[in-house]
Homo-oligomer: A and B are copies of this chain.
Amino acid sequence: MQVLSQACINGLRALLYMASQNRQSGYTGIRDMAKDLNISFHFLTKILQVLTQKGILLSYRGPNGGVALNVSPEKLVLLDIVHLFEGQDFFDTCLLGLPGCGEKKPCPVHEFWKHTKAALECEFETTTLAKLGEQIRNGTTRLTD
């Protein structure tokens, strides 16, 4: 069950990586991050560019360059990132892919899928990167296998 695209997953992992470091200043090198997260450097670069263009990250070229969070991890929730990579209508889908599915014309599984989506969206909306970053920092959870 793959819910998120690889781009979104890698973007999330990169952001969590940075949030878990909570360095007060300086930039995180993409090369190092790619190595730590086991993501191809070029692929990660492309994904981070999206986040930079959207204003989530600041980037800096040249030696000691890299990317840095431009938004406080306390104010960044999973839903923001998911919306950014998957689109604003990410939670506005029918499990059976029917275009007209809704309260008026529900598909056979509309009712329970509605609740599943709502629960997931709520969780994504209330989970900050700071919180998950803290869990990584103290070793409760991890970003790599």
The chain A residues found within 8 Å of chain B, CB to CB, are 1-4, 6, 9, 12-13, 16, 78, 86, 90-91, 93, 95-101, 105-110, 112, 116-117, 119-120, 123, 127, 132, 135-136, 140-145
Q: Is the CB of B107 within 8 A of A143?
A: yes
Q: Is the CB of B93 within 8 A of A2?
A: yes
- What residues on B are CB-neighbors of A12 within 8 Å? 96
Give complex CA distance A2, B140 in Å: 30
Whose C-beta in chain B lies nearest to the C-beta of A120? B116
Q: Is the CB of B108 within 8 A of A16?
A: yes
Whose C-beta in chain B lies nearest to the C-beta of A101? B145
Q: Is the CB of A93 within 8 A of B1?
A: yes
